[in-house]
Structure 1
């Protein structure tokens, strides 16, 4: 069980790092927000599933209830994070933030 938990947490760390690199490397607001939204949502889900499995290791009734609460948080993150990213992107577009385009495509 602890190997699976460790793998889930390492995968979460990997996706957090990839999202951070995407934020630093991508050229404009929209692509940076895309990297942050996708990677952070997946990494959060993996980390929360790992923590929920780690909580279930003792398998008491209190541990099951705690794991269910963690899974409820995961469900909220699964719905709220993409929704918030979409709303921020629409607000940026509405306020006039221009998407990046290649110099040869701007003509």
Structure 2
């Protein structure tokens, strides 16, 4: 039974890692690639680390370290992706021309007939 759970978790991690890697190659701009890399890290590595913890036991040296790394990945991966996307946006990395829209820039633009600074600026 334990081996079956390990195999299923490892297969789930492999499938998400493969789909994330394909997405990184195929996506058109940095912002969509960040989404794919976040999925690869979170949903690819965490099941693989859980498979290690189940296979070795959560209280073993390997299992405890795998669970600690999985917890850190779950916390730090979204923070890192957000920081990278925010830095790229502030530097002016362009979005894909087929993107739905830039809501941040739309909020910063003053509406016709309103003062240039807008409220709170």
Fold shared by both chains (TM-score > 0.5): yes
Runs (5+) with no aligned partner, structure 2? 102-121
SS of 2:93's partner is coil
SS of 2:59's partner is helix
Matching residue of 2:45? 44
Q: Distance in 1 between matches of 2:31 and 2:98?
A: 14
Q: Which has the higher helix share?
A: 1
Of 54, 61, 64, the match for 2:59: 64
Q: Distance in 2 between matches of 1:84 and 1:48?
A: 20
Larger Rg: 2
The CA deviation string for residues 56-96 of structure 1, in whole angstroms up to 9 with x for no partner, is 1xxxxxx6142223211110010011111110110100110
User: Over the residues paired in the alignment, what is the CA RMSD in angstroms?
Assistant: 1.7
**Greater relative CO (CA pairs within 8 A, separation 6+):** 1
SS of 1:64's partner is coil
The CA deviation string for residues 32-54 of structure 1, in whole angstroms up to 9 with x for no partner, is 11111123211111001000001
Runs (5+) with no aligned partner, structure 1? 57-62
**Structure 2 counterparts to residues 1-107 of structure 1, below 5 A:** 1-56=2-57, 64-66=59-61, 67-102=63-98
Check the 8 A contact 2:53/2:67 in 1, yes or no: yes
Q: Distance in 1 between matches of 2:68 and 2:10?
A: 18
